[in-house]
C-alpha cells in the first residue's frame, strides 16, 4: 500500500473520491544492451537507450535495467526527486548452470564474488566513461530507472570452468538466469509489475526474466572484443606504442568448452556490434618454412608416407606428408616448401586456428561512428588464421573503413602457409597494395595500431617510402603484416 497521512487532513477519509493512493512500484527488470545515438559529429551530444536482450555469453558484460514508478524513499515527500535504492541479485532459473535451481549466483565485481548489487534508482554512474564523465544528453529520462553493469562470470577461473562445463553438458537446453529485485529498505512496501498486474511476473513476486518471451539464456563462446582507438569506455589498460601511452584495444574471453569464436567491435561512442563467428580448430605448431630444391627433394625427401592434392584456389598443387609430422608443399610456380613441426616430440605443442569468413561485408552507422569491416580474397586458399591475429585484422579493416582491401592469404588449416615461409600458424596477414602511397600508409599504420610488429614490403614504385616497414624479397605484389603481438591482448578471467 502507498503512504497516506490522513491525520494531517482530517476532512479526508479513505472514501474521499479525489484521494489517490500512490504506491512505489518496480515495473520491470531485464538484461540489456546499450544503444547510443548521435555523436557522429563532435559538436553533437549523444543520447543513450537500452534494448532488452535474451541471450548472453559466459564472461561478457551486460546491463541490468530496473524500471520503477513513485520510488521515493519512505521519509521523503512524493514530489521529491530523490529515489530509493534497490538490491538486485541474479538467480538460476533451472539446474543447468550450477546444479541447483533458484540459487543466488556469485558474480565478480572485478576483484571478488558478490551475491547482490545495491544501486540507487536514477543513478547513472554505470554509464560513466573511464574518465568519470557521463555526457549523454538525455540522462533525465532515467530518473526512475536503475542501471547496473555486470559481468556474467564468477571471479575465480576454476568456477568459470565449472559453469562452462555445466553449460556444455546442458546441450541445447541452455541455462536461464532470472533477476531478483527488492527495495534496500526492508520496511518499504512495493508493488511489482505494471499497474494492471499487481502480482508482477509469473511465479514469484520480485522476480523478472522468467516469463514466456522474456527468458535469458547463457551460452559458451570464445570471445574477442575489439575497440576503436579513441573509445573512452575501454577499460583494458594501457601500453606504449611509438613512445606514446595508448589504451589496449583487444580483449579475449577463453572458453575451453566451445570451438566457436565470436568477434565484437566497440565503436567510438561505445556501440557494440557482432562482426562474425568462426569455428576454431587446434593443430600442431609449425616452424617457418624452408625452401627445398627439386634435387634436394628427390635426394632427401622422397620418403613421404602419403601425398594428396593441395586445396584448390592457391599456388600449391600437392602436399607430401612425413613420419616426423612435417609437410612439404609443391607448386609449379614456387617449387617446394617444407614446414616442420616446432616440437616433433611434444604432441601438446598446439596452435589455435579459425576458418575466416569467405565473405565479410559489415557496415553499421556513419561518420566517425562507422563500423565497416569488408575484405575479399584474391588467388588464395589460405583462409585460416590465429584467432587473436584475426581480431587484429578486423580492427585494421574497421580503422581503414574501406571496401577495396584484398587479402592474399594467411595460412592453411594444417598451419602451413605455402608459398610463404614466414607465416605458418596464421600469425600474419598478406594484403594487396592499395592505390596510393598515402592510402597504403594508413593501412600500415592500422596494422601497427592493432599489434602487427613486422611489416614487409617490396622495393618498386613508392613502396620504399612506406614508413615503419622493411624490405623483403618477394613482396612487390603484396604487403606482409606479421608477428602479431599476443602479449598485448588482454585475457579476461
Check if the beta carbon of residue 424 is closer than 8 Å to that of residue 349.
Answer: no
Least confident of 12-21, 189-198, 274-283, 415-424: 12-21
Give one DSSP letter per residue of 191-257, joined into a string: EES-TT-TB-SSSSTTEESEETTEE-EEE--EEEEEE-TT-TT--S-EEEETTEEEE--EEEE--TT
In 38-187, beta strands by DSSP E: 47-52, 55-57, 61-69, 85-92, 107-108, 113-114, 117-120, 145-151, 177-183
DSSP E strands in 16-144: the ranges are 25-37, 47-52, 55-57, 61-69, 85-92, 107-108, 113-114, 117-120
Query: What is the rounded CA–CA span in Å between residue 310 and residue 303?
Result: 19
Contacts with 232 (C-beta within 8 Å, 6 or more apart), sequence order: 129, 130, 131, 133, 270
User: What's the confidence (pLDDT) of residue 405?
Assistant: 98
Per the prediction, the chain carries an average pLDDT of: 92
pLDDT above 90: residue 244: no
What is the radius of gyration, based on Cα positions, of the chain? 28
**Residue 326 in this model has a pLDDT that exceeds 70:** yes
Nearest alpha-carbon partner for 393 in 381, 414, 411, 417 = 411
Q: What is the pLDDT of residues 364-397, one digit of tens each?
A: 999 999 999 999 999 899 999 999 999 999 999 9
Q: Quote the strand ranges of 395-484, DSSP E.
A: 406-409, 429-431, 452-457, 470-471, 479-484
Query: Would you state the pLDDT for residue 20?
Result: 63
Dihedral sign from CA coordinates of 33, 37, 40, 41:
negative
Question: Which strand (E) or helix (H) includes residue 430?
Answer: strand 429-431
Q: What CA dihedral angle connects 207, 213, 219 and 224, to 10 degrees? A: -100
Band (pLDDT 50/70/90 cuts) for residue 91 is very high
Q: Where are the beta strands (DSSP E) in 302-405?
A: 306-309, 318-321, 327-331, 335-339, 350-355, 360-364, 371-377, 384-385
**Which sign, positive or negative, has the C-alpha torsion 471, 474, 476, 479?**
negative
Assess contact for 177 and 167: CB atoms under 8 A: no
pLDDT at position 197 is: 62
Point out which residues pair with 50 in neighbouring strands: 34
Q: Supply the pTM of this predicted model.
A: 0.92
Q: Where are the domains of the chain?
A: 25-217, 223-282+350-492, 292-339
Which one-letter DSSP state was computed for residue 341? Answer: B
pLDDT tens per residue across span 62-88: 999 999 999 999 887 777 889 999 999
Specify whether the CB–CB gap between 429 and 395 falls below 8 A: no
> Residue 195: its pLDDT value, please?
74
d(CA 209, CA 466): 55
Work out the pLDDT band at 302, boundaries 50, 70, 90: very high
8-state DSSP, 311: P
Q: Give the residues across from 51 on adjacent strands.
A: 33
Whole-number Cα distances in Å, 151 to 108, 253, 444:
7, 12, 35
Instruction: Say if CB 88 and CB 148 are below 8 A apart.
Output: yes
- With a cut of 90, say whether residue 23 has pLDDT above it: no
Reported as a pLDDT band with limits 50, 70 and 90, residue 40 is low
339/156 Cα distance (integer angstroms): 39
Kindly tell me if the per-residue pLDDT of 486 is higher than 70.
yes
| Band of pLDDT at residue 6, cut at 50, 70 and 90 | very low
Beta bridge partners of 284: 350
pLDDT of residue 42: 63
Task: Give the residue carrying C-alpha cell 611509438.
Answer: 242
Q: What percent of the chain has pLDDT over 90?
A: 82
Amino acid at each position: 500500500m502507498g503512504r497516506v497521512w490522513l491525520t494531517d487532513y482530517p476532512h479526508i477519509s479513505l472514501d474521499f473520491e479525489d484521494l489517490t493512493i500512490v504506491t512505489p512500484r518496480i515495473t520491470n527488470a531485464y538484461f540489456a544492451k546499450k544503444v547510443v545515438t548521435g555523436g557522429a559529429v563532435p559538436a553533437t551530444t549523444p543520447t543513450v537507450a537500452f534494448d532488452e536482450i535474451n541471450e548472453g555469453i559466459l564472461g561478457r558484460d551486460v546491463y541490468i535495467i530496473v524500471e520503477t514508478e513513485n520510488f521515493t524513499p519512505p521519509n521523503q515527500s512524493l514530489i521529491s526527486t530523490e529515489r530509493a535504492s534497490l538490491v538486485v541479485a541474479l538467480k538460476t532459473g533451472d539446474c543447468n548452470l550450477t546444479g541447483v535451481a533458484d540459487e543466488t549466483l556469485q558474480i565478480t565485481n572485478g576483484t571478488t564474488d558478490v551475491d547482490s548489487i545495491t544501486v540507487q534508482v536514477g543513478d547513472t554512474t554505470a554509464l560513466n566513461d573511464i574518465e568519470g564523465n557521463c555526457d549523454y544528453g538525455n540522462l533525465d529520462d532515467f530518473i526512475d530507472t536503475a542501471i547496473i553493469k555486470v559481468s556474467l562470470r564468477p571471479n575465480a577461473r576454476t568456477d568459470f570452468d565449472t559453469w562452462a562445463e555445466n553449460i556444455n553438458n546442458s546441450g541445447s537446453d541452455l541455462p536461464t538466469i532470472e533477476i531478483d529485485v527488492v527495495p534496500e529498505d526492508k520496511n518499504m512496501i512495493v508493488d511489482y509489475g505494471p499497474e494492471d498486474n499487481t502480482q508482477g511476473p509469473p511465479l514469484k513476486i520480485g522476480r523478472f526474466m522468467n516469463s514466456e518471451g522474456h527468458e535469458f539464456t547463457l551460452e559458451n563462446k570464445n570471445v574477442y572484443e575489439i575497440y576503436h582507438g579513441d573509445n573512452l569506455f575501454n577499460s583494458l589498460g594501457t601500453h606504449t606504442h611509438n613512445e606514446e601511452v595508448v589504451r589496449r584495444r583487444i580483449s579475449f574471453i577463453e572458453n575451453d568448452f566451445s570451438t566457436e569464436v565470436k568477434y565484437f567491435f566497440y565503436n567510438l561512442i561505445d556501440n557494440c556490434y557482432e562482426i562474425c563467428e568462426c569455428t576454431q580448430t587446434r593443430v600442431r605448431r609449425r616452424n617457418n618454412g624452408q625452401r627445398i630444391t627439386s634435387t634436394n627433394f628427390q635426394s632427401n625427401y622422397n620418403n613421404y608416407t602419403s601425398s594428396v592434392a593441395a586445396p584448390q584456389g592457391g599456388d600449391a598443387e600437392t602436399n607430401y606428408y612425413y613420419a616426423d609430422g612435417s609437410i612439404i608443399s609443391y607448386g609449379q610456380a614456387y617449387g617446394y616448401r617444407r614446414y616442420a613441426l616446432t616440437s616433433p616430440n611434444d604432441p601438446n605443442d598446439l596452435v589455435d586456428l579459425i576458418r575466416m569468413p569467405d565473405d565479410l561485408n559489415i557496415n553499421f552507422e556513419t561518420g566517425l561512428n562507422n563500423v565497416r569491416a569488408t575484405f575479399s580474397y584474391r588467388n588464395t586458399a589460405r583462409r585460416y588464421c590465429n584467432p587473436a591475429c584475426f581480431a587484429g585484422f578486423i580492427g585494421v579493416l574497421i580503422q581503414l573503413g574501406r571496401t577495396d582491401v584484398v587479402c592474399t592469404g594467411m595460412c592453411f588449416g594444417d598451419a602451413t602457409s605455402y608459398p610463404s615461409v614466414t607465416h605458418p600458424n596464421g600469425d600474419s596477414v598478406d594484403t594487396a597494395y592499395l592505390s596510393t602511397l598515402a592510402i597504403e600508409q594508413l593501412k600500415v599504420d592500422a596494422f601497427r595500431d592493432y599489434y602487427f610488429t613486422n611489416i614487409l614490403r617490396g622495393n618498386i614504385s613508392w613502396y620504399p617510402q612506406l614508413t615503419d616497414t622493411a624490405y623483403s624479397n618477394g613482396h612487390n605484389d603484396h604487403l606482409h603484416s606479421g608477428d602479431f603481438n599476443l602479449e598485448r591482448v588482454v585475457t579476461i578471467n
